């Protein structure tokens, strides 16, 4: 079981950056029911929705209960088991693997910092664009304004394998999205969290 799997089971978890900094991960929020900030994302998920990096499935489950067709994808077997236990459909797979319905998804959801997957937001968003239908949209959680686009090698809890991760601030969304063939429709905050909607250019 990886450090992330253990965190989903209830242990404290943090990211260690290559420069030695530590960032605590809000695992309890991921394991809880959707909060008001989550509701802002969920309200914009229409039609078949792909929840990328679904974690323990709080968002996928909420959408499923509202009658929204949704598929969660995650590389963690514990995350997939937890999502399935919540009644949502999920696959253990990377977003960069072959996925069902490529080019036909109405909504792609990147919550909880998952814009960092792969360490390059432009590459990730290009992949999202390929997954979406021409009329589709991506709902993406980003960092607050003032956080520059930056990349680090990170590992969980100071052990395990280093892997690339990235951060994207709200004021860097438009340039990053445009480089990936997407347009920014809106950017807004809820509580202390920030979100943006991107559509194929």
Residue 43 lies in a domain: yes
The gap from C-alpha 79 to its chain's centroid, in whole angstroms, comes to 13
Residue 51 lies in a domain: yes
Residue 190 lies in a domain: yes
Residue 116 lies in a domain: yes
Mean of pLDDT values over 130-142: 98
Q: What is the rounded CA–CA span in Å between residue 4 and residue 25?
A: 10
Give the lowest-confidence range in 8-22, 31-45, 94-108, 127-141.
8-22
137-161 per-position pLDDT tens digit: 999 999 999 999 999 999 988 888 8
Residue 13 lies in a domain: no
The two tokens of residue 5 are 């799997």
Reported for 184-191, long-range contacts at CB under 8 A and 24+ positions apart, including other chains, are 185/137, 187/142, 188/40, 189/144, 190/36, 190/37, 190/39, 190/40, 191/35, 191/36, 191/37
Stated as kind and residue range, the H or E segment containing 81 is helix 77-85
pTM exceeding the 0.85 threshold for the entire prediction: yes
Residue 139 lies in a domain: yes
CATH of the domain at 79: 3.40.50.150
Q: What is the rounded CA–CA span in Å between residue 66 and residue 87?
A: 12
Residue 112 lies in a domain: yes
Q: What is the rounded CA–CA span in Å between residue 30 and residue 54?
A: 9
Give the lowest-confidence range in 16-25, 65-74, 139-148.
16-25
Q: What is the rounded CA–CA span in Å between residue 37 and residue 171?
A: 19
Mean pLDDT for the chain? Answer: 94
Mean of pLDDT values over 26-40: 91
How many domains, in total, are found in the chain?
A: 1
Residue 17 has pLDDT above 60, yes or no: yes
Q: What is the rounded CA–CA span in Å between residue 31 and residue 178?
A: 33
Categorize the per-residue pLDDT at 80 as very low, low, confident or very high, splitting at 50, 70 and 90: very high
Residue 137 lies in a domain: yes
Range of the domain at 175: 36-153+163-200
CB 167 within 8 A of CB 13: no
Percentage above 70 pLDDT, the chain: 96
For position 10, what pLDDT does the model report? 65
Using alpha carbons only, what angle is made at residue 132 by residues 87 and 151, rounded to the nearest 5 degrees?
A: 90
Q: What is the rounded CA–CA span in Å between residue 91 and residue 93?
A: 6
For position 102, what pLDDT does the model report? 98
Mean of pLDDT values over 20-44: 92
For position 159, what pLDDT does the model report? 82
36-69 per-position pLDDT tens digit: 999 999 999 999 999 999 999 999 999 999 999 9
């Amino acid at each position: 079981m990886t450090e992330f799997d253990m965190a989903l089971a209830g242990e404290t978890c943090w990211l260690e950056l290559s420069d030695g900094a530590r960032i605590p991960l809000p695992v309890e929020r991921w394991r809880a029911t959707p909060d008001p900030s989550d509701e802002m994302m969920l309200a914009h998920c229409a039609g078949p929705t792909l929840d990328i990096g679904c974690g323990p499935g709080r968002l996928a489950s909420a959408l499923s209960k509202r009658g929204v067709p949704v598929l969660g994808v995650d590389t963690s077997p514990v995350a997939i088991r937890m999502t399935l236990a919540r009644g949502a459909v999920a696959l253990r797979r990377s977003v960069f693997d072959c996925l069902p319905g490529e080019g036909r998804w109405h909504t792609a959801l990147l919550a909880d910092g998952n814009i960092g997957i792969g360490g390059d937001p432009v590459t990730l968003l290009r992949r999202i664009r390929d997954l979406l239908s021409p009329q589709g949209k991506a709902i993406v959680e980003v960092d607050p304004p003032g956080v520059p686009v930056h990349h680090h090698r990170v590992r969980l809890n100071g052990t395990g394998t280093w892997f690339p991760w990235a951060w994207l601030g709200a004021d860097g969304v438009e340039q990053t999205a445009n480089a990936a063939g997407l347009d920014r429709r809106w950017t807004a905050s809820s509580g202390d969290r920030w979100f943006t909607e991107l559509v194929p250019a």
